[in-house]
Amino acid sequence: MARLALKLKAARDPKFKVRAYHRCPLCGRVRGYLNRFEMCRICFRFLSLRGEVPGVRKSSW
């Protein structure tokens, strides 16, 4: 679990543009971030299986 200070640091505007990085707004995870859905892969999987992410459904073939 990410520290609250790191979540707040990622939310504010950086001093320089290249210092910006993505962090999941739900859990604070840095790695495995999906730009399209703006959350990490773990939160994406959890919410999509519950049907809370619009336009996403489980694939089957």
Domain ranges of the chain: 4-49
The fourth-level CATH superfamily of domain 4-49 is: Ribosomal Protein S14/S29 (4.10.830.10)
Name 33's bridge partners. Answer: 40
The pLDDT tens digits of the residues spanning 37-61 come to 999 999 999 999 999 999 998 888 8
Residue 1 has pLDDT above 90, yes or no: no
Residues in the annotated binding site for Zn(2+): 24, 27, 40, 43
For 48, residues 6+ apart whose C-beta sits below 8 A from its C-beta are 56, 57, 58
Strands 33-34 and 39-40, by their bridges, are: antiparallel
Average pLDDT of the residues in 31-41: 95
Residues in the annotated binding site: 24, 27, 40, 43
Query: Do residues 14 and 20 make contact, with C-beta atoms less than 8 angstroms apart?
Result: yes
pLDDT of residue 54: 92
Q: How many helices (H) and strands (E) does the chain have?
A: 2, 2
